[in-house]
Amino acid sequence: MTLLQLYYFEALARILHFTKAAQELHISQPSLSYAMNELEKELGVKLFIREKKHIELTAYGQQFLPYVKKSLQSLQDGKNILQEMKGEISQSVRIGFFHSISSSFIPPLMEKFYQSRNNRDIHFQFEEGSSYHIYSQIKEQKLDLGFCSHQGPDIKSCLVMRQPLYLIVPLEHPLAKQNYVSFEDFAREQMICLTKGSNLRDRIDEVFTNHHIIPRIVCEVQECNAALRYVELNFGVVILPEVPALRTARVVTLPITDKNKEFIRDINLIWNSYKILSPAATKVKNFIIKNYGILN
Cα gap 149→162, rounded to integer Å: 10
* pLDDT of 54 over the 60 cut: yes
pLDDT value of position 278 = 86
Q: Are 99 and 239 found together in one domain? A: no
67 is in which domain, residue-wise? 3-85
Give Cα separations from 235 to 65, 147, 189, 290, 293 (angstroms): 50, 31, 10, 44, 39
Q: Kindly report the CATH number assigned to the domain that includes residue 36.
A: 1.10.10.10
Q: Is residue 181 located within the same domain as residue 225?
A: yes
Q: Per-residue pLDDT tens for 113-147?
A: 999 998 988 999 999 988 889 999 999 999 999 99
Please give the pLDDT value at position 75.
86
Does residue 87 carry a pLDDT above 80? no
DSSP 3-state of 289: helix
CATH number of the CATH domain containing 236: 3.40.190.10
| Cα distance between residue 47 and residue 40, in whole Å | 6
Of 27, 51, 85, the last residue of a domain is 85
Whole-model pTM: value is: 0.69
Name the β-bridge partners of 96. Answer: 127, 146
Of 286, 277, 279, 285, residue with least CA distance to 74: 277
Question: Which letter does DSSP use for residue 4 in this model?
Answer: H
For helices 199-210 and 131-139, angle between their N-to-C axes, nearest 10 degrees:
120
Nearest to 283 by CA among 80, 109, 93: 93
